[in-house]
Amino acid sequence: MNISDIVKSDLCTGCGVCTSESTGRLEMQWDENGFLLPVLKSGKWSDTYDAVKVCPFNPDPQLEVSDEDKLGSQFLAEAQKFDEKLGRYENTYIGYSIDYRTDSSSGGIATYVFSDLLKRKIVDHLFIVREFDGSYEYGLYSGEYDIKQTSKTRYIPVTLEHCFTVIDNLEGTVAISGVACFLKAIRLKQFYHPHYKHKIPFLVGIICGGWKSRFFSDFLAQGAGVSGKYHSQEYRIKDPNSLSSDYSFGAFDRDENFKTMKMSKVGDMWGTGLFKSNACDFCSDVTTELADISLGDAWLPEYRSDGMGNSIVITRSRLAESIIQQGILNQALVIDSVTEDAIIRSQKPSFLHRQDAINFRIRIRKLKRMMVPRIRDRVLTKISLPYLTVQIQRMRVRKNSIKHWRRYPFFGKFKEKMSIDLKILALFTRVYHKLRS
Ligand SMILES: Cc1cc2nc3c(=O)[nH]c(=O)nc-3n(C[C@H](O)[C@H](O)[C@H](O)COP(=O)(O)OP(=O)(O)OC[C@H]3O[C@@H](n4cnc5c(N)ncnc54)[C@H](O)[C@@H]3O)c2cc1C
């Protein structure tokens, strides 16, 4: 078993941590489907067998770190509470940061936490996603310019390929942001190389509903009216006079015109699975269970009317809890303590898809004699026949969206090609909802 087996089985999201375990033999490159994937730079795949131990989709991991629950007990042992859906945690909140909300994706809590970590010298640097020459990549930030420029989440593939090389050559400690599978890879790295526990004392979890191909950005840019190259795209332009979900995408064209499009124009891009990595269908971690603090959108009726956005917050370590408590005391955060149920409701579709239906997708893969990553038994359950049809169609939509964009990278033509698949998915979903209610 090595990383090429994971890639060939379409089970790689491109976190890139494996490259740091390959003694320079692996590097990340764009593939034909718009994802960043590890490729062999030199030597043989068999020389890189060690790299698979840090892969979040490893089908045969070491027992002590074989899933999110086991890793949680290694890294978040002090957390006071446990919930089957949320994992280990201290407390749950919803709210926003007064200073950082305007420039952020949701409530600006990620930027607030990072800023606080630097101000209080809990860490010396951040390894986060920021702009590089009009696109986005992971990079180091040590307070050189206004931290607001690092705000906002970016839905284009990025990779931790250079993370450990950068960190190894740095004085001081680093906090990192990441989606669930990226953080799992970092925790695995810390397990096998314990000195990184000290070097990386804090992880900010970005709750993720699916890792998108670069095609997603290309599609949105064309939808906004950019023909040809685009840059400095914005995925979450808020409308203070509308609902929090009514945000826009925008991008600069070659003539430096900023073109925008309400996301409602393209319909549901998340629940359908359009442009999503196949590996995401085999991740059961909805709320970044291995982070010190997990952040997402408060997709709840009681917060939806606030177009500026609110964040859901799950603190999982004492340090994270103290940052939030301090923020409340200093009146830097406007934040309510909420029940676990509120957090679970805000991510309900993701729990249904990622946890309840994962067993069905695993069974399909096993029937096809395909490799299956290690998934914790406790999330494996049965789903109803109507939801099963939704699952089959979602898998089809995901696969076809990537296939069609590769062949027809044109907004109108692509929509035409996807139309029947999306109509069938909408029909199956309606039937499922009707029978469920
Ligand atoms: C691919 C993806 C899917 C998502 N799906 C969901 C979902 O289904 N449900 C939900 O509630 N929320 C989801 N989010 C998270 C949501 O969009 C917000 O990012 C989150 O609520 C944090 O908002 P904030 O205002 O606190 O962050 P901000 O204050 O705006 O800061 C964002 C921070 O994240 C860093 N960052 C930007 N892009 C990335 C990236 N790709 N990977 C890692 N770090 C990054 C930035 O450097 C910055 O520090 C998703 C995010 C991504 C990237």
CA distance linking residue 108 with residue 187, whole number of Å? 25
Instruction: Calculate the CA dihedral of residues 375, 61, 85, 212 and round it to 10 degrees.
Output: -80
CA distances from residue 166 to 172, 176, 186 in whole angstroms, order as listed: 12, 12, 14
Cα angle value 357/220/30 (rounded, 5°): 75
- Atom number of ligand 1 nearest to Cα 100: 29
Q: Which pLDDT score, from 0 to 100, does residue 1 have?
A: 87
Centre of ligand 1 from the C-alpha of residue 179, in Å: 8
What token pair was written down for 104? 């952020």
Q: What is the pLDDT of residues 337-351, one digit of tens each?
A: 999 999 999 999 999
Average pLDDT, the chain: 97
Contact 145, 1 (CB under 8 A): no
Q: What is the pLDDT of residues 87-120, one digit of tens each?
A: 999 999 999 999 999 999 999 999 999 999 999 9
0.95 surpassed by pTM = yes
Share of the chain above pLDDT 90, in %: 97
Q: Is 418 helix (H, G, I), strand (E, B) or coil?
A: helix
Rounded to 5 degrees, φ, ψ at 23 are: 40, 50
Confidence of residue 436 (pLDDT cuts 50, 70, 90): confident
Q: What is the pLDDT of residues 5-36, one digit of tens each?
A: 999 999 999 999 999 999 999 999 999 999 99
Question: pLDDT at residue 240 above 80?
Answer: yes
Residues contacting ligand 1 via CB (< 6 Å)? 100, 104-111, 114, 128-130, 150-155, 158, 177-179, 206-209, 211, 270, 295-297, 311, 350
CA distance linking residue 390 with residue 430, whole number of Å? 9
User: For residues 287-301, b (16+ Cβ closer than 10 Å) or e, as one string?
Assistant: bbbbbbbbbbbbbbe
| DSSP 8-state assignment for residue 276 | B
Cα angle value 309/314/316 (rounded, 5°): 155
Q: Which pLDDT score, from 0 to 100, does residue 46 have?
A: 87
What is the distance, to the nearest Å, from the Cα of residue 195 to the centroid of all Cα atoms in its chain? 26
Q: What is the pLDDT of residues 295-323, one digit of tens each?
A: 999 999 999 999 999 999 999 999 999 99
Question: pLDDT at residue 189 above 90?
Answer: yes
Confidence of residue 437 (pLDDT cuts 50, 70, 90): confident
Contact 275, 212 (CB under 8 A): yes
CA distance linking residue 386 with residue 428, whole number of Å? 7
Residue ranges per structural domain of the chain: 3-212+276-351
What token pair was written down for 203? 């992880």
Centre of ligand 1 from the C-alpha of residue 152, in Å: 6
Average of per-residue pLDDT across 272-290: 98
Rg (CA), the chain: 21
- Atom number of ligand 1 nearest to Cα 309: 25
User: Ligand 1: which of 153, 155, 293, 313 to mutate, most ligand atoms within 8 Å of CB?
Assistant: 153
What token pair was written down for 33? 């489907």
Question: pLDDT at residue 425 above 80?
Answer: yes
Ramachandran region, residue 331 (left: φ > 0; alpha: ψ -120 to 50; beta: rest): left
Confidence of residue 83 (pLDDT cuts 50, 70, 90): very high
What token pair was written down for 199? 């070097």
CA distance linking residue 313 with residue 113, whole number of Å? 11
CA distance linking residue 175 with residue 118, whole number of Å? 9
Residue 301's nearest CA partner among 288, 314, 310 is: 310
CA distance linking residue 52 with residue 8, whole number of Å? 13
